[in-house]
Every structure is written in C-alpha cells, then in structure tokens.
Amino acid sequence: MKSILLLILVGVFFAEAALADIIISEVMANPAADEDLNEWVELQNNGEEDVNVRCWTIGDASDDDLLIGGLYDGGGTVIPSGGFAIVTDEMTRVYNNFNVSSDAVKLYVDDLRIGNSLSNNGDVVFLYDENMNIVDNMSYGHSTDSLSWTMSGNDWVETEPTPGWNRTTDTDFCDWKIEINTENVFFNSSEGVRWEVTVKKVEGEKQNLSAKGYVKRLNKETVKDYAPWTDVGVTSTRTRSYSPNLDDNEVYILEYNITELSCEDKDMANNHFSTLIAVDMELPEPENETIDYSKLEITEFLPDPSGDDTSGEFVEIYNTGASELDLRGIVLEDNSNKSVIIADSNTDGNTKISAGDYKVVNTGSIYGFLNNEGYEEIRLYYMDELLDSVSYSSSREGNSWSKFDSSWEMGAPSSGRKNVNGSSPKESRIDIKNVYDLGADDEAKFGQTIRARVEVYKGDTSKKCIKLWAEDEDGKRISKETRTNIYERYTEYELTLPIHLKPNCNGKYGGGDSLIYAEGLDEDDSYGLIVSGVRDDVCEEVEIEGSQGNFDYEITEMPLGVSAGEEFEVEIMLGNNYGSGYNFDVWSYVYVGNKCYSGGREDNKKRVYVEDNEEKAVLLRNKVEVAGEYNLKVKIKREDQKTEKELTSEINVDGSAEHVQEQMLYTEETHTADVAEKELNVKCTPITVYESTGLRSGKLIPYISAGMLFILVFVLVFRF
C-alpha cells in the first residue's frame, strides 16, 4: 500500500513539473502584414517529457482562447521534449509570411485572433493548463514593426523573428543608438549648415556596424545620401560631421539609420533618428506691438494614431490672442530634441492662424517624434522663446490628449476644433435600422438576397469586425454570415450590408418569424422579419447529387482568374447542424482530367472543429505555375466518415483576378474513399475558476507542490 501511494504521489509531482517545463519563448505582436492573421506566440518544452497541451488556454489582458491542434498537419497538440509549438489564429497567414520551422507543432486558437489581438503598445500573454492554472506569462512594451519579443537572460528583448527555431543561448545582445546633433535649427545661409552624426554604445561590447543617412525635402525627395560607416568596428562611440551646400529658403529632413550590426540589438527604436533644419528661412516678425506669439498654446496632440504613425500623428496649436499670426518657421521639439519646423507642407498649405482659431501640425514625417510610451515632452518655440510645453507618460492607440481648461484628458481626437469634454463616448454601438428588398407583403423568401441598413459607432476599442446573419425561430442560421471591418475609432458608420438567405430547397428550415443579428465591437442588435416560401428560380439551378443531411458547405469567395505562379485563396463556409460538434478535414487542388497541377492533392489539408449550429469559414491556398484553363476541386470530410463531399468550379490561370462572392452555383458530388484517419481533437468543457491578481503566485505552485511532496514522502517512509 505504501509503495502504491508513493508511486501516485511521485506521478503527480512529475506531471506538475512537466507542465512547468512549457514556457512562452517568443511573441510576434506587431507583424508587418495584416495584424491578426500574422500574430503568433511560440511555446517551448524545456523538459525531458513530451507534454500534451490539449484543452489548454492562451490569452492576453482582455480575452482568452482555447488551444486546438491538428489544423495544419502539425502533429496534434503534443509538444515533444525540447520542441517548439507555434500558436496562431484559425485563419492564419503566418506559414506564408514567416520562415517557420517544419518541426514546430502547429497550434491555433478557436478564434480569429489571439486573445483580443496582441496590442502593439504593450500587452501581457498568459498560458493556462486544462484546469486554468497559470503555466507561464510574459509582458512586453511598445513593439517595433516586424520584430518579435524573445527572452534574453531575465529580460524580454526585440529581435528578428525565429518561429520554431532553436535560438542559441550565447546570442550576442547589445544596444546601440544613433543621434543627429546640430547647434541650430535655422541657418542663415547654406555656408553655415553643419551637423554631426554620432553612434553610441548603450550596452554590450565592440561591434562592427554600418549606417546610412539622407537629406530630404519635406515632400520626401532625397537631396543627399551618405554612408558614414560601412562594416566599421566601433568600441563605444564614433562621430561624423557634414556641411553640404543646400538651397536657401527650404526646410529639410535629416534622417540617419543604423543598417547593420554584428550583434542582436535589444532596442531597435533608437537605431533611427530624424530632425528638421531650415536654410535661410525668413521667420515672421510682429508688425506691431499688439502681435504676441506668447498667445500660442498646445491644446491637443495624437502620439499614437490608429495604423501608421507617420500618416496620423499631429499637434494642435490654439491662438488665444486677438491678432492673426503666421506660424511659418515656429518649432515643435520633443524630449529627444527632434524638431518639427512648421511649414506649408505640414499644415495643409497654410501656416496662418486666426485669432481664437486652431492650427493642426502634422508631425509624422519625423520618425519617433512623439513617444507612444514612456516620458515625453512637447515644446513650442518662437525663435529662442519657449511659448508652451506639455508632458505625458502614456498613450493609447487612436486616442489623443486634449486640454480642458488647465487639465488634460485622453479621448476621441477633435483636431482643428474646440475640445469638448466627453463629446465622444468610449462605448461602441450597433443598431439595425431597416431591411430592404422585401416583397409587397414585407416578407423575404429563402434563396433571396436582402440588405440591412446598420448604423455603427466605433468607440475606444481595437476590435474591428462586424458580422451579420439571419436565424429562424428555432435558432438555426438561415443565411450566410456577412462580415466587414471598420477601423477608425470614435467614428459613426452607416453600412448597407447584404444578407444571402439559404435556398432551403429540401425544406430543412421552417421559416416564419426570424431574426437578423448584427454583432461586433462587443455589441449586438437584432431585427425581426418574416421569411416565407422559396424564390422560384433558386432550386431549379442547383443540382444536388445525394442528400447533404445536416451539413451545409459552399465556396463563398474565390478568384475567377489568377496569374501563373500567384498564390490564391479560396474561402469555404462550413455549416454544422448535426446536433453535436465535429472535426472536418478540408482541402483543395487544381486539376485537369486526372492530373493535379497545384502540387500534392492534400498539401493544404486543414482540420477544423465546427460546433453544432455553427458556421465557420476556412481559407485554402493553391498555386499553379503554368497558364491555362483548369478546374478547382474542394473536398470536405467529417472525421468519423469515409464519404467526401466535393465542390467544383472553373478557374482561369493567367487571367484577371476578379473576385466573386456568395451567389456562385456549384455542382456537388459525393463518393467513398478510404482515407486514413488523423488524430482527433477532443472538445474541451470550460470551467469557471477564481484567479487572484497575484500572477506570480501561480508560478510558485510547482515548487510548493514539490516541497509538500518530499515532506509527505519523508513522513510515509519513516512512519511505515
């Protein structure tokens, strides 16, 4: 009895220790391509035993998602000892856009994004086991475009991404920065123009580096280009000076970048520096004593616009005086001494500001002018006179800092007009206002396409997807799901979206009182309508060979033509009404006769879990190298069946890539084939647990368990 008890306790200990061996090892939060489709998290098994992460959960600060395996033939959910796994969303393009190791286990989440989409401005990533115990977590700050977060010692640093690859532990990390130093922003003539460029070691050892520099006009035209260092060894600092001949009465951008380093730089943000200089630029001078530039003040600024900072970053200036002022040549400067000189090119062609009016200065042309995080200060100068300044230490994407009397608040941007406290609510709203294309009796028919007018207000949220569909009185979906994305925060949208009602040729749906649902931005709405009868011409045009049973499948988007060698996507919508959830294998290929022209017939096979009464979109990719007229075949097979369902359509290679959606008709065939069953995913039952805010305590559980185990074993051995 004692031996059995000891074996059980030891088994529990090693199971707990195995969980602790799974760590978050790399995070891509800010990919260059589409954010949600290209974000990923790398997990690593540092232990000596394989670990099955089936039914585990991953999430960020806002949302959690279930981990699922097997979608991309990645070996299910078992991460081998010393191995890696890549976590993506279910519609991922990571494997197209990154060099992912073929040995990595390919996991995905049961959602269109990891968590609530990993924030570019800092977030936290959690990993939980099947009982919602915290296995690991990490946090990161503002993310540089195209770089991933990787653990270096006890620090998370930004490096070139290595998904699924074993990064060497002796990587040479460093931190180097480049700066432009100039005594003046304004130069009286080209002969006096001079500046210095300095590279400095912040952390690390002597390294070889290369750098490039440019002088550009405000329209981004390059006037001069320089290569101050090319594969030069630098111990701690190196400086070069420049005195070029430049045209008078012009404003120029000075821009320098470290382009190569013989080490992994921990902070890529300081590898770039840019500022403005003006040559022989006449500054406006007060014509009389009543004109006073001290009446100018900063009233609003947007450091982190939605999307690209260079296109939306601004500072708003307000004229509290009684006279019109010309802002031409006035300088905005930040805490790192980067300067923006106000000119026609960054004020929409007019630098004059009327009394009691606002002027918006676009500052995005200077890289890193306003920090998205950390302490930052904005200063406004007329010549050497400091007119106003403001500082901040945080920002939120799409939100500006606005001045109300003597206080500052973060909220909806209101550039160029008076700031109104609380004028733009932060909560989003979605309302279905009307439905068009109904018959004279205000009823819709199955097989018909109707339109819904939806009014949406997007508040302070990073979510962007709006979904629309219809359900009958039994809660069954009777339409395809229509999706659209909206991006700008604090904006009203009026959308007219199509809803494609299913044909219902087999009388599967009851019709009658039905509802249209709109969902998105954490809001939802519904609208009642009556669906009665079937459109006369629908069922005659679709020939169905055999019964579909309780499963709907169709191609919802594909190109009619593509160029040879161009990868193209096909979207298939799966609708499951079997009464329980199932895994479905889906794949596609391009063929003529018996020959396949897109590689192996099952090269792009995916396994997708679809809940009962759920519709799920699946993206498949193919490529054909030789032009010609081909057929596209899509195959779908339920996990426990041998019968494969098929969809077929023509596709022209080397034609125009015209997309068709939703209303295409297909011939459906069925046949029986002996297909080897793959590992099945098990549906996980969620549980509700209490989680304290002390996240670190969760990390101590394996060690506490180990201590208690050894004490208990000691007592049992000596007692018996």
Which residues, 6+ apart, have CB-to-CB distance to 22 below 8 Å? 43, 44, 45, 46, 47, 51, 53, 79, 127, 135, 136
Q: Cα separation of 401 and 390, whole Å?
A: 10
Q: Please give the average per-residue pLDDT across 527-544, as a whole number.
A: 72
- Does CATH place domain 551-672 in 3.40.630.30? no
Cα end-to-end span (Å), the chain: 10
Q: Report the range of poorest mean pLDDT among 29-43, 142-156, 642-656.
A: 642-656
pLDDT, greater one: 157 or 430: 430
pLDDT tens-digit readout, 266-303: 778 789 888 888 888 766 665 555 568 889 999 999 98
Pairing of strands 643-653, 561-562: parallel
Give the pLDDT of residue 423. Answer: 56
pLDDT, greater one: 11 or 337: 337
The answer on pLDDT for 458 being more than 80 is: yes
The residue whose two tokens read 């979906």 is: 477
Q: Report the range of poorest mean pLDDT among 164-168, 187-191, 338-342, 465-469.
A: 164-168
- Contact indicator for 489, 458 with CB cutoff of 8 Å: yes
State which fold the 173-279 domain adopts.
Immunoglobulin-like (2.60.40)
Q: What is the DSSP string of 233-287?
A: EESSEEEEEE-----SSEEEEEEEEEEEESSEES-GGGGEEEEEEEESPPPP--S
pLDDT, greater one: 613 or 75: 613
Q: What is the DSSP string of 511-572?
A: -EEEEEEEEETTEEEEEEEEEEEE-TTHHHH--BSS--TTEEEEEEEEESEE-TT--EEEEE
φ, ψ of residue 709 to 5 degrees: the values are: -60, -50
pTM of the model: 0.42
CA-atom Rg of the chain in angstroms: 31
- Per CATH, 2-159 and 173-279 having the same topology is answered yes
Of 139, 119, 141, 34, which Cα lies nearest the Cα of 462? 119
Distances (CA, A) of 54 to 420, 445, 606, 618, 690: 51, 43, 17, 21, 21
Give the pLDDT of residue 189. Answer: 84
Q: Which CATH architecture has domain 429-541?
A: Sandwich (2.60)
Q: Please give the average per-residue pLDDT across 42-62, as a whole number.
A: 89
Residues constituting the chain = 720
Give the pLDDT of residue 283. Answer: 65
- Contact indicator for 263, 174 with CB cutoff of 8 Å: yes
pLDDT, greater one: 550 or 555: 555
Give the pLDDT of residue 420. Answer: 65
Q: What is the layout of strands, in order, in the sheet containing 195-203?
A: 237-242, 195-203, 173-181, 264-265
Give the pLDDT of residue 126. Answer: 93
| Burial classification of residue 349, based on how many CB atoms lie within 10 Å of its CB (0-12 exposed, 13-18 middle, 19 or more buried) | exposed
Q: Indicate the pLDDT class of residue 695, thresholds 50, 70 and 90.
A: very low
Of 374, 346, 358, 345, which Cα lies nearest the Cα of 298? 358
- Contact indicator for 585, 636 with CB cutoff of 8 Å: yes
Q: Is the dihedral of CA 712, 713, 714, 717 positive or negative?
A: positive
pLDDT tens-digit readout, 253-262: 899 999 998 8
pLDDT tens-digit readout, 581-603: 889 999 999 988 778 888 888 88
The upper half-sphere exposure of residue 243, i.e. CA atoms within 13 Å in the direction of its Cβ, equals 5
Q: Cα separation of 72 and 62, whole Å?
A: 27
Task: Name the CATH superfamily, with its identifier, for domain 2-159.
Answer: Lamin Tail domain (2.60.40.1260)
The upper half-sphere exposure of residue 533, i.e. CA atoms within 13 Å in the direction of its Cβ, equals 10
Pick the CATH number of 293-411 from 2.60.40, 3.30.479, 1.10.1060, 1.10.10: 2.60.40
φ, ψ of residue 5 to 5 degrees: the values are: -60, -40
Domain ranges of the chain: 2-159, 173-279, 293-411, 429-541, 551-672
Give the pLDDT of residue 484. Answer: 81
Q: Cα separation of 625 and 148, whole Å?
A: 33
Q: Cα separation of 656 and 652, whole Å?
A: 8
pLDDT, greater one: 438 or 713: 438
Q: Cα separation of 35 and 117, whole Å?
A: 8
- Contact indicator for 123, 139 with CB cutoff of 8 Å: yes
Mean pLDDT of the chain: 79
Q: Please give the average per-residue pLDDT across 150-169, as a whole number.
A: 79
Give the pLDDT of residue 661. Answer: 32
The answer on pLDDT for 672 being more than 50 is: no
